[in-house]
Amino acid sequence: MNDLCTTVEDNRIVTTKELAGILGVEPRTVQLAVQKLGLANVLSQVKIRGQNSFVFTEEQATLVKQHIQEHHNLSSRQIDSVSTVAEENQMIAQAFSILQRRIEDANKEIEKLKPAAEFAYQICSSKDAIDIGNCAKVLNRNIGRNNLFEFLRNRKILQQDNIPYQKYIDSGYFRVIETKYTIPSGETKISLKTLVLQKGVAYINKLLRESENENKGVC
């Protein structure tokens, strides 16, 4: 199309093949319309790859379009304006650019949501908090209740009585609840139980993954 622009002053032009493509017909149909309208002697011609081709201005292309619509039952085709190939390529490039930006924005949003979504499907059926035993099952990392207690004690997250250090409670990883029970003598006793919040499940999983990588020698 650049060759055409250097030959014809009006850059709002199309060739026979381009106009046929826009209207969705064969080039032969465009040529017949030109003959019927008596435009053959009016239109400019250029050589493209060794072949002669008519060159249409926007007004001339509109006349051909209207003729084809009337005689080829193409009334549903609406070509309000005829663009050059360069203009069409520019519009396509702009559309792809917009699409690419939207894809990039969507991918960024997905990356932001990954940490929160990593275990959502595993613990969505649980209540606000679960005990250590159920936490071990949810993590599914071949570690049982007692071994998980030991792991967390070694990491200085739980104290020797399996109660979390205060900073991990304040961080929203754990909750400690009191339970009352009665011994045979009739005396009421109180015990403390450690529960893991959803944020804590993700945190424990992160620690276990890091520990596995350390054992494998992964940096």
Question: Within this chain, do residues 188 and 209 fall inside the same structural domain, yes or no?
Answer: yes
Question: Within this chain, do residues 33 and 18 fall inside the same structural domain, yes or no?
Answer: yes
Q: What pLDDT is recorded for position 86?
A: 56
Final residue in a domain of this structure, among 82, 105, 129: 82
Question: Within this chain, do residues 6 and 58 fall inside the same structural domain, yes or no?
Answer: yes
Question: Within this chain, do residues 113 and 176 fall inside the same structural domain, yes or no?
Answer: no
Q: What pLDDT is recorded for position 35?
A: 86
Final residue in a domain of this structure, among 33, 67, 82: 82
What torsion do the CA atoms of 105, 108, 110, 112 make, to the nearest 10 degrees?
Answer: -140
pLDDT top residue among 32 and 6: 32
φ/ψ of 112, rounded to 5, equals -65, -35
Q: What pLDDT is recorded for position 119?
A: 46
Task: Please compute the mean of the pLDDT values over residues 122-134 and round it to a whole number.
Answer: 69
The parent domain of residue 132 ranges over: 121-216
CA angle (89 as vertex; 83, 94 as ends), nearest 5 = 110
Most confident segment among 73-77, 155-159, 178-182, 209-213: 155-159
pLDDT top residue among 45 and 78: 45
pTM (global) more than 0.85? no
pLDDT top residue among 160 and 217: 160
Q: What pLDDT is recorded for position 115?
A: 57
Question: Within this chain, do residues 125 and 71 fall inside the same structural domain, yes or no?
Answer: no
Final residue in a domain of this structure, among 82, 106, 131: 82
Task: Please compute the mean of the pLDDT values over residues 22-46 and round it to a whole number.
Answer: 84
Question: Within this chain, do residues 196 and 132 fall inside the same structural domain, yes or no?
Answer: yes
Tokens of 144: 């049982």
Task: Please compute the mean of the pLDDT values over residues 61-89 and round it to a whole number.
Answer: 63
For residue 148, pLDDT over 60 is answered with yes
Question: Within this chain, do residues 17 and 101 fall inside the same structural domain, yes or no?
Answer: no
Most confident segment among 38-42, 81-85, 109-113, 136-140: 136-140
Question: Within this chain, do residues 73 and 99 fall inside the same structural domain, yes or no?
Answer: no
Q: What pLDDT is recorded for position 173?
A: 94
Q: Where does the pLDDT of residue 126 fall: very low under 50, low under 70, confident under 90, or very high at 90 and above?
A: very low
CATH number at residue 32: 1.10.1660
Question: Within this chain, do residues 46 and 100 fall inside the same structural domain, yes or no?
Answer: no
Task: Please compute the mean of the pLDDT values over residues 22-32 and round it to a whole number.
Answer: 85
pLDDT top residue among 38 and 204: 204
Distances (CA, A) of 110 to 67, 105, 106, 199, 201: 52, 9, 6, 19, 21
Question: Within this chain, do residues 93 and 72 fall inside the same structural domain, yes or no?
Answer: no
Question: Within this chain, do residues 136 and 201 fall inside the same structural domain, yes or no?
Answer: yes
Distances (CA, A) of 117 to 113, 136, 195, 205, 218: 6, 18, 21, 13, 24
3-state secondary structure of 154: helix
Question: Within this chain, do residues 190 and 212 fall inside the same structural domain, yes or no?
Answer: yes
Total number of domains in the chain: 3
Distances (CA, A) of 66 to 62, 73, 143, 168: 6, 11, 77, 76
- For residues 45 and 158, what is the distance between their CA atoms, to the nearest angstrom? 87
